[in-house]
């Protein structure tokens, strides 16, 4: 599909990325028997032809991860167990020379065809670059090509992950030592939030699109009247987020400037969160505390029996009695840690941690987030 990896990267960068794909293909073929391997698709920004281009004194360099989806025959669970570690080692061995992180995800076409629509599958199926295989492999995946079918909880999940980035950034801003690495981390997460906030509005309206440039064009035509009048500033933020995605930079801003930007985006994130969750759940949430202390099931799309099994694996025998999906704990804790920091006792209870200070609670949150983001 996409013939270029980037919009305006140099020929040398394009050639480097193409050569990396060839090395990936050879590496995968050395690990996976030919009879087992059905196809390999490059997803993410580079698979969609909108990969980041970092300009440096030595030339153009890649910035985003290379995300490869490997389609195998047979059981998805067995394939994941068998090839996860060898593929992880392959990615680690290829990443230094590639100049960016090479990642792999094992899938089966059978599972993809029977899966419900999601933002993740929409992005993959509608725009990608084949390293091995062709479009015929996605026959039967038409449900993933209609953005209007993406459920509202997918918009919540996107916002949840980007607001989590704001939370991690807040913890960095509060650290005693704040250097170049911290400034770059915070700056990068602020830009991701700027892009995501506009994307959330588009997705909630059924207008999501694989291209960040097209999403911005649609956001420019969005109706910000009525209860969304406060959201007009998201258009300018989204434009900045699109520019960062296509032409990223390494932030050298001061802690003070980043803190000011963080405070503004946190405020907008709170308004967007309450608006979206009120819309999704059909319950009016005026404050983050209203949300965090609500008895409502915040993940109603998940089934009771599956939730009990997931809680059993995550928290042991004590988790078996819980019929709510663990991500709900993160939703509640996020609302308190990011926007209501005088309610940390409740956040501590949601995270089931002995930590009591802000940094410790964020660390506990991050551990749970890695499993249920």
Q: Is the pLDDT of residue 328 over 60?
A: yes
Q: Is the pLDDT of residue 100 over 90?
A: yes
The length of the chain is 373
pLDDT score at 313: 78
What DSSP letter does each residue of 148-183 carry, written as one string? GGS-HHHHHHHHHHHHHHHHHHHHHHTSS---HHHH
% of residues, the chain, pLDDT over 90: 86
Radius of gyration of the chain (CA): 21
Tens digits of residue pLDDT in 150-174: 999 999 999 999 999 999 999 999 9
What DSSP letter does each residue of 194-214 carry, written as one string? HHHHHHHHHHHTT---S-HHH
Percent helix / strand / coil, the chain, rounded to 5: 65, 10, 30
pLDDT score at 322: 77
Q: Return d(Cα 224, Cα 235) in angstroms, integer.
A: 10
Q: Return d(Cα 269, Cα 333) in angstroms, integer.
A: 15
Q: Is the pLDDT of residue 1 over 60?
A: no
Kindly indicate the confidence band of residue 64, based on its pLDDT and cuts at 50, 70 and 90: confident
- The residue written with tokens 């916002």 in the block is 159
The per-type count for the chain, helices as H runs and strands as E runs, is 15, 6
Q: Return d(Cα 291, Cα 173) in angstroms, integer.
A: 26
Tokens coding 208: 């999501």
Q: Return d(Cα 123, Cα 293) in angstroms, integer.
A: 34
- What predicted TM-score, i.e. pTM, was given to this entire model? 0.93
**Residues forming a β-bridge with 39:** 71
Q: Return d(Cα 173, Cα 186) in angstroms, integer.
A: 8
Up-side HSE of residue 86: CA atoms within 13 Å toward CB? 14
Tens digits of residue pLDDT in 115-149: 999 999 999 999 999 999 999 999 999 999 999 99
Tokens coding 62: 């890649």
- Is the torsion defined by CA of 131, 137, 143, 146 positive or negative? positive
Tens digits of residue pLDDT in 262-313: 999 999 999 999 999 999 999 999 999 999 999 999 999 988 878 788 877 7
Q: Is the pLDDT of residue 38 over 60?
A: yes
In this prediction, residues 168-182 reach a mean pLDDT of 96
Q: Return d(Cα 348, Cα 333) in angstroms, integer.
A: 8
Q: Return d(Cα 341, Cα 338) in angstroms, integer.
A: 7
**143, 149 in Cβ contact below 8 A?**
yes
In this prediction, residues 47-59 reach a mean pLDDT of 93
Instruction: Report helix angle 255-281 to 152-173, nearest 10.
Output: 150
Q: Is the pLDDT of residue 318 over 70?
A: no
Residue 302 or residue 316, greater confidence: 302
Q: Is the pLDDT of residue 2 over 80?
A: no
Q: What is the mean pLDDT of the chain?
A: 94
**344, 358 in Cβ contact below 8 A?**
yes
Q: Is the pLDDT of residue 343 over 60?
A: yes
Tokens coding 303: 């089934």
Q: Is the pLDDT of residue 316 over 80?
A: no
Domains in the chain (CATH in brackets) are 11-148 (3.30.460.10), 151-282 (1.20.120), 283-373 (no CATH)
């Amino acid at each position: 599909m996409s013939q270029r990896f980037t919009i305006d990267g140099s020929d040398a960068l394009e050639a480097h990325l193409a050569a990396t794909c060839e090395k990936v293909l050879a590496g995968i073929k050395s690990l996976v028997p030919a009879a087992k391997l059905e196809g390999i698709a490059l997803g993410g920004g580079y698979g969609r032809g909108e990969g980041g281009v970092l300009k440096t004194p030595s030339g153009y360099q890649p910035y985003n991860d290379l995300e490869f989806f490997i389609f195998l025959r047979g059981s998805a669970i067995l394939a994941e167990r068998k090839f996860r570690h060898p593929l992880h080692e392959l990615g680690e061995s290829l990443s230094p020379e590639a100049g960016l992180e090479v990642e792999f995800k094992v899938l089966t076409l059978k599972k993809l065809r029977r899966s419900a629509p999601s933002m993740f599958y929409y992005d993959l199926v509608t725009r990608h670059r084949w390293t091995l295989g062709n479009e015929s492999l996605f026959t039967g995946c038409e449900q993933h090509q209609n953005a209007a079918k993406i459920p509202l909880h997918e918009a919540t999940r996107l916002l949840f992950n980007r607001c989590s980035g704001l939370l991690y950034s807040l913890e960095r801003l509060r650290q005693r030592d704040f250097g170049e690495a911290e400034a770059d981390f915070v700056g990068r997460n602020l830009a991701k939030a700027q892009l995501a906030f506009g994307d959330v509005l588009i997705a909630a309206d059924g207008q999501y699109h694989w291209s960040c440039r097209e999403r911005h064009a649609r956001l420019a035509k969005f109706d910000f009247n009525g209860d969304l009048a406060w959201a007009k500033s998201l258009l300018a933020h989204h434009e900045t987020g699109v520019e960062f995605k296509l032409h990223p930079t390494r932030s050298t801003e001061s802690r003070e400037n980043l803190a000011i930007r963080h405070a503004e985006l946190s405020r907008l994130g709170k308004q967007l969160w309450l608006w979206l969750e009120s819309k999704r759940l059909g319950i009016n949430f005026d404050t983050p505390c209203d949300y965090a202390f609500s008895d409502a099931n915040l993940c109603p799309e998940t089934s009771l029996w599956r939730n009990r099994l997931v809680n059993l694996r995550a928290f042991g025998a004590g988790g078996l009695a819980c019929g709510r999906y663990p991500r709900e704990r993160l939703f509640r804790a996020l609302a308190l840690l990011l926007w209501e920091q005088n309610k940390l006792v409740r956040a501590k209870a949601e995270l089931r941690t002995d930590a009591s200070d802000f940094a410790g609670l964020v660390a506990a949150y991050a551990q749970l987030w890695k499993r249920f983001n």
